[in-house]
Amino acid sequence: MAENVNQNASAVVEHLRAWNSKAVEEVIEFHGETTIVVHHTLLRSVALECRDALQFNLLSDATCVDRYPVEPRFELQYHLTSIPNRTKIRLRTRVPGDQPNVDSLVPVWLGAGWLEREIFDLMGINFNDHPDLRRILLPDDWKGHPLRKDYPVEGFRDIPATYLPGLKK
């Protein structure tokens, strides 16, 4: 079963390379998972090709990893599933920290809508052409993006002196 999944994934890589020689920057195989790294300007066209030509009809998940202080610090991860071919791949794109802009995938999969809102809310990535890019989990007036590595786990608020007897007045 697991071998089958891999077999299909390598066919996906070959197809994408034949489709556009610049599309695939890097292919990472790890624990039987195939990660295809694409440039962030090509993300939407690669996603469209995956959906239309390769039958990746289900966007399983989208999330982001912050590799601060490494630049480009953000790594967007899109987990695609092809229900007809029983294949899973991961599309990855690296986004620089000073201009975290990337094309939204809502035109490709409607299900990307809330997933991208979540990434916008917690990581502060801007998605171009997203129909409704608002905070989703946090209040509208929240400052900062908590899942970034330079955001402390305790948050930024001052700890009231009553909780630190003898330390703060």
Identify which of residues 5 and 13 has a Cβ nearer to other proteins in the complex.
Answer: 5
Tell me the closest approach of the beta carbon of residue 151 to other proteins, in angstroms: 8
Please give the Cα distance from 94 to 78 (Å, whole number): 12
In b/e form, how buried is each residue of 81-97, taking b as 16+ CB within 10 angstroms? ebeebebbbbbbbbbeb
Identify which of residues 109 and 120 has a Cβ nearer to other proteins in the complex.
Answer: 109
Question: Judged by CB under 8 A, does residue 137 bind other proteins?
Answer: yes
Question: Judged by CB under 8 A, does residue 5 bind other proteins?
Answer: yes
Question: Judged by CB under 8 A, does residue 153 bind other proteins?
Answer: yes
Q: Answer for the pair 65, 89: CB distance below 8 angstroms, yes or no.
A: no
Contacts with other proteins, residue ranges (CB under 8 A) = 1, 5, 30-31, 33, 35, 57-61, 63-67, 77, 79, 83, 86, 88, 90, 109-115, 118, 122, 134-140, 146-147, 153
